[in-house]
Chains A and B, each alone.
Chain A
Amino acid sequence: MSTAEFLGNKEYKYGFVTDIESDVIPRGLTEDTIHVISQKKNEPAWMLEFRLKAYRHWLTMTEPKHWPNLKYPTIDYQDIIYYSAPKQKPTLASLDEVDPELLKTFEKLGIPLTEQKQLAGVAVDAVFDSVSVATTYKEKLKKHGVIFCSFTEAIKDYPELIQKYLGSVVPTNDNFFAALNSAVFSDGSFCFIPKGVRCPMELSTYFRINNSESGQFERTLIVAEEGSHVSYLEGCTAPKFDKNQLHAAVVELIALDDAQIKYSTVQNWYAGDEEGRGGIYNFVTKRGKCAGRNSKISWTQVETGSAITWKYPSCILQGDNSIGEFYSVALTNHAQQADTGTKMIHLGKNTRSTIISKGIAAGRSNNSYRGLVKVMPKAENARNYTQCDSMLIGSSSGANTFPYIEVMNDSSSVEHEASTSKISEEQLFYLQQRGISSEDAVSLIINGFCKDVFLQLPMEFAVEATRLLGLKLEGSVG
């Protein structure tokens, strides 16, 4: 069986559509659209101002099409629906009032929301198209002073925090997609961990795109005060549509003195079919600021979905002795394209960063690592270690590394290592000679290849990631 044949057999199991009545605004984007979104969400004037400012800036910007190693047709931004929400009561007294169709949807995705079935140890904010439909364990978290709620609620209930931190890491004019998101974002999650608190459970947001015409523009903001710790997980899926949908999210993390944020993503948006029809265009800006001394931000991502991935979770290492980490597995198959990596900006003294990137390209896909390590003049004794390994499966895929290393301080040291390899026939034969089938052999080798990254994931996610890679790659060799 050829690679293509075998991979073609694997179904995307999250590809179903939920039949639910939605509140949808007409497609297209003008200042009016932004007024409508803001009104629908009952937002204060400052929020509308923030959006309009971003929108006006966005109009002056052009889509970054020349530098990423990505090819896709021009996106018509007037042909997208910028707000789509399931119709439901404006405020819900309890989770049990959530539309049963929605509860069923999330249950099918493995994210039960009802009190009886909630995942132990993980608080979930479930986002469906443009809005958050439910957040679990809110009360329990509140007892510890931890705020975990939808962005809409946060704007209403914690305006001073939002005003202080929103856009402080990713300014509205940062880049084309961030500006677009800042103008039209509809919901997302807000987490606030007060001084000295270790968040008692994992926080998690599950994103689901359901409407074939709508884009998803969500916003995540996590603030970890002095000495606090939090681990946050993010998962994403979407139904199978022949059309491409746009997902342009912004994530901002702020870590104050001695605080630690661990952010993990398993991204499994619909990737399109074998011919490259459909799938999500995933243009995401994620950035964390280690604002305080000894703070630490760690990004771990397992990127397996989306037709196109454009994503560079980054760390601004401002506080002295702060630490930034980026662990990534990006897998592309069929016609998928990924241009992903990170930026580590060293500003403070003794700042350290580690980048471990594992790219796997199968089918006709193209997988690029693009990363910037920048050491500014005052970042004395800054250290970076980067390792980018690529693995090619089959002979029609491409793996690229584009590292940008800019060093302006002589006491710093930066090391970049990259390798490209393939699963060798010899390795496969060796495993087969020991009685392991070729599918298991591939999955074993890939898991070994990705081990350094999987070790960083919380347990449940690591299992999920391993399974996901196995599923996506079964039979891709031989």
Chain B
Amino acid sequence: MIDLSKTIDLSTTYLGLKLKNPLVASASPMCEDVGNIRRMEDAGAGAVVLHSLFEEQIEIENDDLDRFLTEGSERSPEAVTHFPELTSRVLGPEGYLEHLRKCKKAIKIPVIASLNGSSRGGWMSYAKQIQQAGADALELNIYYIPVDPHVTGEQVELNYVELVKAIKTEVKLPVAVKLGPHFSSMANMAQKLDAAGANALVLFNRFYQPDYDLEALEVVPNLILSSSHELLLRLHWIAVLYGQIKADLALTGGIHTATDVVKAMMAGSKVAMMTSALLKRGINYLDTLATELLIWMGEHEYDSIQQMQGSMSRNAVPQPAAFERANYMKVLGSYAMR
């Protein structure tokens, strides 16, 4: 039997890092455990993206702690306080940074840290600390939902761009920017971020979407794991952007099978990031995916991942219009014919 891994090159480069394959475990709560990180490497991940360091969460938790410690104080002459002194300083980013250090020690594949800031100072300071803690790269998880009707799309875009510029001047690490799909002109936005110095764009973030509990009449947080059909939106934009910007492209959301990975690569993605698949099937599924990827490539006579990357991007296909409005027309037409 032929050992496909010796004849087929799965390696890719992402953010200037050489990865043994394009399978990347994306940011998720699974990454909070060093044991899981080790298992990801063992199962064959090309790199891991750690869960996000959320500045706002740290601040809210610290503010709450401060508020409740204070509210429990000076209540009466008998109870000047209701809590003992904290035995040590509460953890801000330290817990995350320590985790990052441990992960770096534990595995050899690249470790990409993820950051969600809420203030300019926080972004800068935490990015530097992440660099000092030894991350191989930094992913900016700009999880921002503009709900204020006074904020224009232009302002939002400008904030993204300014932030990336500022962070790029602050750290030497390669920087990826994880985006949502809700920009009026995604291609233009990608170009601006590219110009601002982003080394990669990660498409797309999946936002938590609140659901309703109809019995309790309450809004409840909801997380639905992704499925392959979400892949299409990502493929579309990666295919469109491929070749138009210098920054690497990374696909995240909807990767569940080896063929999903192949599609991502063909659209022009450097890596295929996944969480839902691993949550559903376990971390070892990475190993299965890698094997299936090899089999598919063997069966279809591909030599390397790099060979297929961008091979079906907008500019590489004979009908680029398929990625434009015409595609929509065609789908409708085919639907009507059924």
Do chains A and B interact in one complex? no
Residues of B participating in the A interface, judged by any CB pair closer than 8 Å: none
